[in-house]
Structure 1
């Protein structure tokens, strides 16, 4: 009877405590108020077209309308773009690839890549620190297998301070450059497996540049895209993997032989 009662009573519990939910809610409200402030600074107009793009069709509509405002209200568009991108990255909202395409369509390659890399790094950093506060139970609940794999890889890196710093940076660069683990998972899991922030920051900032370049460049010829899958052809994927393998080679060579 005792065993049955124990099994019957072991219901899945919500992974976050009241304090953690309060902290997360506070951060959400901070972003909502910030986005609201950006919206209020925009000139009076019809903004019914403003919504997070979920398809190329949505993106075309958003691009066509924002092109009019970008030349006259560049600062407001930039601030709004950055706020939305960071918000999406922080709370793991899908669709940042469309935001990267939009950067290319509105600002060109050089400015677009700089904008995407800076905002993506800021958003990833925001997600990192939010996860440091409340992320552990969520990651353990949502991605237990990926977390175990990631933690095992980080633990296996050489233990001396100098070796660990260099090898961990190389490994994190590899993860950013290749689809070995999703970027969203890397953002929330890194503080949980004790990846130092300065290494996380450098790997994110540098590692996002190649993919950002490919996406932003595609955004310039937005009308030629038939689907998001057209962004990464075989040559693009192969190039990213090659850069990733080169970045992780020192880490593999430095691991102690058994």
Structure 2
């Protein structure tokens, strides 16, 4: 990934190579990204930056969301098969918290999973590994991943387009970008909170009627 930050010469060579061997670069890029995501190898943020540098805004975001979702799905099923002991040993407290939240928000689970994806409440690696253990249905996991990764992917890919001006990773998430992600997260979780209030009101009404 060092070539991404080495100035215009390396970037120009990469762009020319991508233009001449588009299919090969796409297959190689997706394979590496999915492998890293599946086996929790750090560095996918640099892959997202590279997508912006090589493929532009729209194609870069689409590619990152596809590869990240495919890798997250692979991680989901791998964890379902053999990941339970690992998750219990690494994150016992987080797993207990996540399990309670999923059980409590079962009726509005998609909204809650979207909230987790667009905000840094829980790490994405943990969500990928823990979701099958706490019985999050795969279709909800996949849909929340596909939609929820778009905002962060947009921010990172946009930064990748301006790699020449990027001085540090902290430049990726300025105050405005972080505020935007939290705003999207609040909007996504609002239906869950409203549904919870309605359920409490119904319970109160039933109790009053019974008395």
- TM over 0.5, yes or no? yes
> Which of residues 133, 155, 178 is equivalent to 2:81?
133
* Partner Cα distance (2:127, 2:71) in 1: 12
Match of 2:50 in 1: 102
Please give the per-residue CA displacement for 1:92-113, whole angstroms capped at 9, x wherever unaligned.
Answer: 1111110000000001001101
Instruction: Using structure 2 for the length normalisation, give the TM-score.
Output: 0.89
Aligned counterpart, 1:88: 36
> Per residue, is there more helix in 1 or in 2?
2
Residue 224 (str. 1) matches residue 165 (str. 2): yes
Contact 2:105-2:112 at 8 Å conserved across structures: no
Once the 2 structures are TM-superposed, how far is the Cα of residue 65 of structure 1 from its aligned partner? 4.2
Distance in 1 between the 2:136 and 2:170 partners? 31
Q: Extract unaligned runs of 5+ from structure 2.
A: 204-211
* Separation in structure 1 between the aligned mates of residue 73 and residue 47 of structure 2, nearest angstrom: 18
- Displacement of 1:68: 2.9
**Is the contact made by 2:117 and 2:149 (CA closer than 8 Å) also made in structure 1?**
yes
- Does structure 1 retain, via aligned residues, the 8 Å contact 2:64–2:153? yes
Confirm or deny: 8 A CA contact 1:63 1:102 kept in the other structure: no
Mapping of residues 143-182 of structure 1, within 5 Å:
143-158=91-106, 164=107, 167-182=108-123
Greater Cα offset, 213-222 or 66-75: 66-75
For 1:37, the equivalent position in structure 2 comes to none
C-alpha separation in 2, matches of 1:193 and 1:228: 33
- Unaligned runs of at least 5 residues, structure 1: 1-52, 159-163
Runs of 4+ in 1 over 3 A off after TM superposition: 61-65
Aligned residues: 196
Q: Which has the higher contact order (CA 8 A, sep 6+)?
A: 2
Match of 1:119 among 67, 70, 77: 67
Q: When the two structures are superposed, what TM-score results if normalisation uses the length of structure 1?
A: 0.73
Deviations 1:194-231 (A, max 9, x none): 00000000000000001111111111110111111110
Residues in 2 aligned to 1:177 and 1:185: alpha-carbon distance in whole angstroms: 14
